[in-house]
Amino acid sequence: MDIRELLNEFSICSCEEFMDEFLAVLGQCQNPSEVMGKLVFCLQRMKESPNTYFMENCNLFESIKGHNGIYAITIQKTGSNVRVLHARVLGKFIFLLAFYKKEGKKATDYSKHAPIADTRLRREKAKIGGSKNGCKH
């Protein structure tokens, strides 16, 4: 299943840059199918508990400090360390940004990526506010 089909199946929206970013990140992974499998697992957790998924599954998700309402999906598999920044607006999840985190034991530094996600989130909120059906998949 490709990323577009997957997001559509789970009713996840994405900003216009996300697909190309995610595909580029996936291309850096040693085993892309493992990464996609873990993403499906994370999406299932989000769908089952949309209001509390990030608290119940703290090894899979993290809240980005200082960026209210933006969360990261953490996908760590052998040779792969991917982050997907997302938010929830009017009951819809929006994937904002994907990046490959370099290996290492230190905590993920979101200072480069979170401001970009903030900007994209503002843009997507403006689009949703002017649309009857919200964002597109």
In terms of pLDDT, which residue wins out, 19 or 54?
19
**Residues 79-132: tens digit of each pLDDT:** 789 999 999 998 889 999 999 987 665 677 899 999 999 999 999 998 877 554
Give the burial string for 7-36 (b: 16+ CB within 10 Å, else e): beebebbbbeebbebbeebbeebeebeebb
What's the pLDDT score for residue 46?
Answer: 94
**Residues 4-20: tens digit of each pLDDT:** 899 999 999 999 999 99
How far is 96 from 76, CA to CA, in rounded Å? 19
Bridging pattern class, strands 13-14 and 61-63: unpaired
Burial class (CB in 10 A: 0-12, 13-18, 19+), 125: middle
Question: Mean pLDDT over residues 32-60, rounded?
Answer: 90
Question: Mean pLDDT over residues 65-82, rounded?
Answer: 89
For residue 83, what are the β-bridge partners? 74, 99
* Domains in the chain: boundaries: 3-129
At the fourth CATH level, which superfamily is domain 3-129? RelE-like (3.30.2310.20)
Question: Mean pLDDT over residues 23-29, rounded?
Answer: 93
